[in-house]
Amino acid sequence: MQVLENISLKPYNTFGINARAKFFAELHSDNDIAAFFSSLTPERMPFLILGGGSNILFTKDFEGSVGCIRSKGIVKLMEDDSHVYLKIAAGEVWDDVVKYAVDHGWGGIENLSLIPGNAGTGPVQNIGAYGVELKDVIYSVEVADVIARHYRAFRPADCEFGYRSSIFKKKAKDRFIITGICLKLDKQPVLKLDYGDIRQELKNAGINRPSISAVRDIIIKIRSRKLPDPSILGNAGSFFMNPVISADDFARLIRQFPLMPSFRSGDEIKIPGAWLIEQCGFKGKRFGDAGVHGQQPLVLVNYGSATGAEILALAEKIIGSVNRKFGLRMEKEVNIF
């Protein structure tokens, strides 16, 4: 492992923010991770672990050590009649993992196609799209415990998975570094086609008996139409989470705003933040190089040279506006540094 000094993080975050790290190292193996922690003398603290950099907004330089996980490897651990268990290194690009599974005919993650980021950061925010969440297919999460200085594995029941949330994002933030994940995939895939336009899109494409590969292609088509490609336009996917409120609160709101869309989420009601932001007039708006995406207003974008502080200021403006109009609080999904 080589520790570099005063490195621009622009290539390491999908928002393309030009913040600098005082110390920086790429970590290609468990040994590199151990070496990184040994390198953390007091003057090299604090530390930050980066995966694909797809859920982070830098608002200033990082005056400590950044470790960027780059470990690779997908291994079939075991299989039985119905399932295959894949061990995946944290540094694998998530969509490469989806492609690998789909190419082998193993089902479960095809709806999570094209989500930016790495395999190891997936559990942190329990990535989800089109009716599937990572928690549905996770068998275990392998971590390095920074405090106890050992390696261990979490079973899903201990991960406290919720909507875009987990123990790794909340209670155990900064304690565990995810070094790998194990997925349990179906050898006889069960397709999940109920979200939004998936069925209609398959029908439009003339596909009557879809395979997981056809589902992957359709999801890629829908996502590419609605969501900006970070390699072209800097962004971190949904910047906000959708507000989740009680049925009573929703009953009050819908009297005032009869056109408000909603989705059931267990006993609660999820309101599309995209609609709230659109109603406040921000859809497609641009303020300097910081903007709100024109097809999906939950996504904030960097048109080139926006600073993290400018993107954050836009986010706060949106939060204030939605709060004044609807009395709802939009929570940020992206990590702010």
* Residue pair 242/331 in contact by the 8 Å Cβ criterion: no
**Which residue number has the CB closest to ligand EPU?**
237
One of 261, 281, 288, 320 touching ligand EPU (CB under 6 A): 261
**CA nearest 51: which of 21, 109, 23, 90?**
90
165 is catalytic: no
Instruction: For residue 201, indicate whether it is catalytic.
Output: no
Minimum CB–partner distance for residue 193 and ligand EPU (Å): 13
Cβ neighbours, 10 Å, residue 150: 8
Is 275 near ligand EPU (CB under 6 A)?
Answer: yes
Which residues, in sequence order, are bridge partners of residue 100? none
* Residue 274 touching ligand EPU (CB under 6 A): yes
Among the listed residues 30, 186, 268, 278, the single contact to ligand EPU using CB under 6 A: 278
Respond yes or no: is residue 238 known to be catalytic: yes
214 backbone dihedrals φ, ψ, rounded to 5°: -65, -40
CB atoms within 10 A of CB 56: 24
Task: State the nearest-atom distance from the C-beta of 277 to ligand EPU, in Å.
Answer: 8
3 state SS of 185: strand
CA-to-CA distance for 151 and 142, rounded, in angstroms?
7
69-88 mask for ligand EPU (x: CB under 6 A)? --------------------
The residue to which tokens 């390696």 are assigned: 151
Nearer to ligand EPU, 61 or 278 (CB): 278
Question: What is the token pair recorded at 240?
Answer: 């906000």
Residues that bind ligand EPU (CB under 6 A): 129-130, 196, 226-227, 237-238, 241-242, 261, 272, 274-275, 278, 283, 296-298, 333
Catalytic residue numbers? 164, 238, 333
